Chains A and B, each alone.
Chain A
Amino acid sequence: MGGAWSPPALAVAAALGIGLAGLGVLVSTIDPAPASPLRHLFAVPVIGAALRFGALGGGLAAVGAVLTRAPALFVHLEDTGLSAPALEDLVSNVTLLLGGPLVGALTSAARRQRARIDTLIAVQRALVEDAPLPVALARLRALLVTRWAGADLALVVRDGDTLTVAGGDGVVAGSAVARVLATGNSLFVPDIGGGPRPHRVFVAPMLARGATIGVLALERTGELGPRDRAALARLAIYLGLALENARLSWRQRRFTEELGEKVAAATRHLEAVDRAKSAFVATVSHELRTPLTALLGFSELLSVRRFPAGEVQRLAGIMRGETERLTRIVDDLLDLSRLEQGLELRIVPVPLAVAAALAAAVEIFRRGVPTHRVHVDCPDGPCRAQVDPDAFDRIVKNLVSNAIKYSPAGSRVMVSARTDGAGLTFTVADEGRGIPADALPHVFDPYYRAPGAAETARGVGLGLALVKALVEAHGGRIGVASVADRGTRVTFTLPAAP
């Protein structure tokens, strides 16, 4: 619309007008008679104007052509009446009057159709790129402004509870846009008033999935006819669908990316677990072979040689110790297997005197491991926990055993208990080299062994995992804190006996 009256267009219009007048002079000079073959030359500027300026241009040129030819025709009609040549000339004029606007209208319709398709393609292109909604809307608005020259344009889209606006700062209550958002019906305001020329406003809803997801508002000074409004309404519907599709596509891409990230994380985790299990199998094989080798060796010795009674008793003691070690490993494996199957550990909580239980649990270390000093610190007075005695014994022994294994000879291991509200808090602290900070979150994972642990002490990576399971089976909690070269402190809670 805006380009129709640009200087080049006015120059073309002037040329057509001058051509029409010149043609009139030429025809009236050479052959002014009705039905002259030269009359067909008038079709050239008429069709030219129709092709260039549409129905209005074709109509004006046709009127100009007819006005140019009419005087001669009327004179002829007065002189001869409705003769065959006059009739032929009359038909030619009527043809021009009808043909000019018709060709112009068809040309305009074709142009509008092409512009509409171009706009749709451009909209699609603008939404292909992955961009946040405000940016996509600004891009769309800039595109549409170039296609509706001279118009002010705004795009508003609901984005959850907020409105994203392109072309304004917000939507005022009671405004045309607010009304269309509320009703879902398009709104045409023929004139907002206050100007020398009518300023027309049209607001069309953007529809998607049966709901109004936004609006397209266009306003300009000048005509905004029914055809323009219908085109805008269709464009708004298309924009709604395109934006909705873009939004769905964006969500799908995000979902795919998140899924990919989760799959990658799961794969990494599974690979880590697989590596841990491989390491575990190797460790367990090693751990099982050691006592089995001892058992095999000593049992062969006993079967082929005769030993004094005292020596037999010593060897039997060693074999018993290795058998107990094998039993512990197998028990741990069985318990872990139960946990992995989602089964609970079998515990039977009973009131247990804590001081006696702790003393009994650490006694074996006091006697068997003279390199470390194991201290027990219990509160004065009766202190009883509601726990399974075997489970409590395994918890304490596991933790004290770990503390001894990972602390230097001559160091001290502190086992303490204190009442804490309705429960009891136990602490096992050593003076070892500590656990690296990045390993701390994993020390309770099954099969996990901190870096360097294998070089320091034997083990299969099950002890702390089982301790945690046992504590939690009692409704307690367990945590670990460690300072490099200062030691590690494991703290757990258990319920007190009522």
Chain B
Amino acid sequence: MRGRSPPSSDRTTVVWALEAAVAPPPQWRLGAPLVPALALAAEVGTAALLVAGGWMPPEALRVAGLVALHGALLSAALSRAARSGSPTWSPIGPALVSIGLVTVALAAAALDRRGAVAAPAVLLWLTLAARRGRLGSVGVRRPSPASGMLLGLGTGATLGAHMLLSAPLTLGYRLRADGAGAYLAALAYDIGINVASSELFFRGVLFDHMQRRASFAAAAMVATIGYVGRYLLDPLLPHAVETIAGAVVYLSLLSLACCWLFWRTGSVVPGAAGALTFFAAYRALAIG
């Protein structure tokens, strides 16, 4: 069915609706690969058995839980990246390496807070994958737009500054006094594991999947509910009502801002920069 076209000077534009056959959207497949999932289950189960048998302290179970959480988020992101990327690339190996690095970093930090220096190894590993172009479909792209980075840093700084000002006033939290080492250890966790796994999954996987099937508002709402829920389940967050209320407000605003930045730029990096800035402020408070 071809028609005639009027003389036009802008025929460099290709209108997809005219020139491509409509194909059904790909099926929803979120699941992490089976092998990483089994590895995580085995890790948690082993930790539970060892703790129950008295061979390891209860802290081991908390570490295993955290590893399972971050390992699942990272495995899901790598799985999606592999599905959308090169068909010859398997996500199993990178996912297992990520889980291993997270395990090592969190276990080392649990034994001695200086062990947290191992956490950025996870980010380095992901950066290596990104440099090979493996993570493009989950929003890790180069170059990240400078305006997006500025907006992300500005948003994180604004929210963080507000929290630093208001939390002592309203909730009575003070700035942490346990030294720079503890602060840097917490920050290393955020840099290497926390922000990376959250942004890759909640923005690069969940929000991106939703925004390609629904409106921005719906996608941002789903991603924000998941994001806030993930932190509310974090055992490190104090369970005081006012603290949870404050966390819901800040994390919701942070998540919405990250979703908007991802929407505008197509990259998770500006949002990650904003989240990292916010958590840098958060870690300055003596919470938890």
Contacts and interface: CB of A to CB of B under 8 A. Distances in A.
A498 interface: no
Given A165-B3, A169-B11, A179 B166 contact: no
Contact of B22 (A63, A134, A152, A174): A174
A170 B15 contact: no
Contact of A165 (B18, B162, B211, B215): B18
B2 A171 contact: yes
Interface string A196-209: 11110101000000
Nearest to A166: B6
Contacts of B28: none
A175 B5 contact: no
Contacts, number: 142
* Interface SS of A by simple majority: mixed
A187 B21 CA distance: 13
Given A173-B21, A191-B212, A223-B216, A199 B16 contact: yes
Interface of B: 1-8, 11, 13-22, 25-26, 136, 139, 141, 162, 165-166, 169-170, 211-216, 253, 263-264, 266-267
Contacts of B141: 196
A168 B2 CA distance: 10
A67 B7 CA distance: 56
B169 A191 contact: no
A150 to B, nearest CB: 12
A198 B209 CA distance: 10
Interface of A: 5, 63, 67, 70-72, 74-75, 78, 134-135, 137-138, 152-154, 156, 162-179, 181, 187, 189-193, 195-199, 201, 203, 217, 219, 222-223, 225-226
A178 to B, nearest CB: 6
Given A134-B4, A166-B5, A225 B22 contact: no
Contact of B15 (A135, A219, A225): A219
Contacts of A175: 17-22
A18 to B, nearest CB: 11
Name, among B16, B212, B214, the residue most crowded by chain A CB atoms within 10 Å (CB to CB).
Answer: B16
Given A71-B166, A165-B4, 6 more contacts: A154-B18, A169-B11, A169-B18, A174-B22, A175-B19, A223-B215
Contact of B18 (A78, A164, A168): A168
A172 B16 contact: no
A203 B15 CA distance: 11
A177 B18 contact: yes
Contacts of B165: 71
Contacts of A173: 1, 21
26 contacts: A67-B162, A134-B4, A134-B7, A154-B17, A162-B3, A163-B4, A166-B6, A167-B13, A168-B5, A169-B18, A170-B2, A170-B5, A171-B1, A172-B19, A176-B16, A178-B1, A191-B212, A191-B213, A192-B16, A192-B20, A193-B26, A196-B266, A201-B16, A217-B18, A219-B16, A219-B17
Nearest to A170: B2
Nearest to A224: B215
Given A196-B139, A198-B211, A223-B215, A167 B15 contact: yes
A217 B169 contact: no
A210 to B, nearest CB: 22
A63 B212 contact: no
Contacts of B6: 134-135, 137-138, 164-166
A156 B215 contact: no
Given A70-B166, A154-B17, A175-B22, A170 B3 contact: yes
A175 B267 CA distance: 30
A166 B212 contact: no
Nearest to B84: A193
A137 B8 CA distance: 11
Contacts of B7: 134, 138
Contacts of A179: 22
Contacts of B216: 223, 225
B5 A176 contact: no
A436 B19 CA distance: 62
A201 to B, nearest CB: 5
Contacts of A67: 162, 166
A225 B166 CA distance: 37
B12 to A, nearest CB: 11
Given A190-B213, A196-B267, A163 B1 contact: yes
Nearest to B21: A174
Contacts of B2: 163, 169-171
Contacts of B5: 134, 164-166, 168-170
A223 B166 CA distance: 35
Nearest to A133: B6
A17 to B, nearest CB: 8
Interface centre among B20, B22, B267 (most CB of A within 10 A): B22
Closest A-B pairs by Cβ, 9 of them:
A163-B3, A196-B266, A134-B6, A170-B2, A174-B21, A71-B166, A191-B212, A217-B17, A74-B170
A55 B68 CA distance: 40
